[in-house]
Amino acid sequence: MKIGFLTVALGNTKLEEIVPWAASVGFEALEVAAWPLVNERDFSSTTINVEGLTKSKAEEIKALFEKYGLIISSLAYYDNNLDANEEKRKTINEHLKKVIDAASMLGVELVGTFIGRDIRKGVEENIKEFEKVFKPIIAYAESKNVKLMIENCPMVGWQQEEKIGNIFYSPQLWREIFRITPDSFGINLDPSHLHWLGIDYIKVLDEFKDRIFHVHAKDTEINHELLTDQGIFGHFGTNFHGKSWWTYRLPGFGEIDWQEFIKALKKIGYDFVISIEHEDPVWVGTVDKAKKGLTIGLKHLKQFV
């Protein structure tokens, strides 16, 4: 099992700087951000610009990773593929295809994204939209020897305050979506979301082991006193990456039992990458601070792999 991180954590730092630094501190993989240069998402960056990526440039990138003994675990482009605005949806879908093209050129098997949601419609209607939108995209990915995977983040408040923004956050929804998709479509499993949602992040592993393509390492800190006072709805502000009673943290600073989680991953035969997705509000503000946070997370996870 290799430990990596999502390059969004280092903002606009060039890939040529990220790779040697990551190798020097002990990382073995990178989950490489591939958003458009201009986009509306927070927690995004463009570590690789897939627009017009050439074969020669792809070979340079592959050589860089080979030189430092790292792998690209996946390309990351998490956006709303079911956007209610048809033009915006089309733009997002087309960029996702470009990310798939880039992954194919780089010899990377996985591309991570969100399903998202048409906020005007209910969950059942969105599953129908999902099938319409994703069926051709999945086929396109398969034609390029690429697998698509979805992170299980509910994205509360993304399109509309207090509403779920990504219809792929629970085992019940996973079953329904996997019922209508081929084996090449899977999960980028993140236990941090499951934990605050009240879902057992270890119990899900056995049932979905064949669809777990990649794993995120993000922790969740819960303020139980506030939870008892406010209830699960808490205080909903503009920041959907944490409510008053829960906060995303680096591994080791929350309630996820990483020893048991990694042990359970090994038990189901998972032996790929655990990628730190750094959204910890304590270790942000500068690239150096983010790097320190990442190394702390790496040290914690290394005990168990």
**Tens of pLDDT along 90-134?**
999 999 999 999 999 999 999 999 999 999 999 999 999 999 999
**Does residue 51 surpass a pLDDT of 90?**
yes
- How far is Cα 191 from Cα 174, in angstroms, rounded to an integer? 15
Locus of tokens 């069926």? 135
Residue 26 predicted with pLDDT over 70: yes
Mean pLDDT of all residues in 24-36: 97
Average confidence (pLDDT) over 197-206: 97
Query: Could you tell me the residue range of the domain that residue 98 belongs to?
Result: 2-302
Q: Which amino acid is at 132?
A: K
Distances (CA, A) of 28 to 23, 40, 237, 273: 6, 30, 37, 9
Buried b / exposed e over 268-286, threshold 16 CB at 10 Å, is eebebbbbbbbbbeebeee
Quote the CA–CA distance of 11 and 190 in Å, as a whole number: 21
Instruction: Please check whether residue 43 is in contact with residue 241, taking contact to mean a CB–CB distance below 8 angstroms.
Output: yes
Position 81, amino acid: N
| The model's pTM | 0.95
Q: What is the pLDDT of residue 244?
A: 76
pLDDT at 142 over 50: yes
What is the spatial distance between Cα 80 and Cα 41, in angstroms, rounded to a whole number?
A: 10
pLDDT single digits (tens) 169-199: 999 999 999 999 999 999 999 999 999 999 9
**Nearest to 78, CA basis, from 272, 282, 279, 289:** 279
132 Cβ contact partners less than 8 Å away, ≥ 6 residues apart: none
Instruction: Work out whether strand 219-222 and strand 246-249 pair parallel, antiparallel, or are unpaired.
Output: antiparallel
State how many domains the chain has: 1
CB 301 within 8 A of CB 276: yes
- Please report the pLDDT score of residue 194 as a whole number: 98
What is the band of 238 on the pLDDT scale with cuts at 50, 70, 90?
Answer: very low
The reported pLDDT for the residue numbered 250 is: 98
Look at residue 242 in the predicted model and tell me its pLDDT.
55
CATH number of the domain within which 25 lies: 3.20.20.150
Residue 240 has a pLDDT of: 43
Q: Which residues of 134-157 are buried (b: 16+ CB within 10 A; e: fewer)?
A: beebbebbeeeebbbbbbbbbbbb
Q: What is the pLDDT of residue 228?
A: 87
Question: Is 137 within 8 Å of 97 (Cβ atoms)?
Answer: yes
Does residue 196 contact residue 240 with C-beta atoms inside 8 Å? no
- 3-state DSSP helix/strand/coil percent for the chain, to nearest 5? 45, 20, 40
pLDDT score for 239: 42
Q: What is the pLDDT of residues 63-95, one digit of tens each?
A: 999 999 999 999 999 999 999 999 999 999 999
What pLDDT was estimated at residue 243? 64
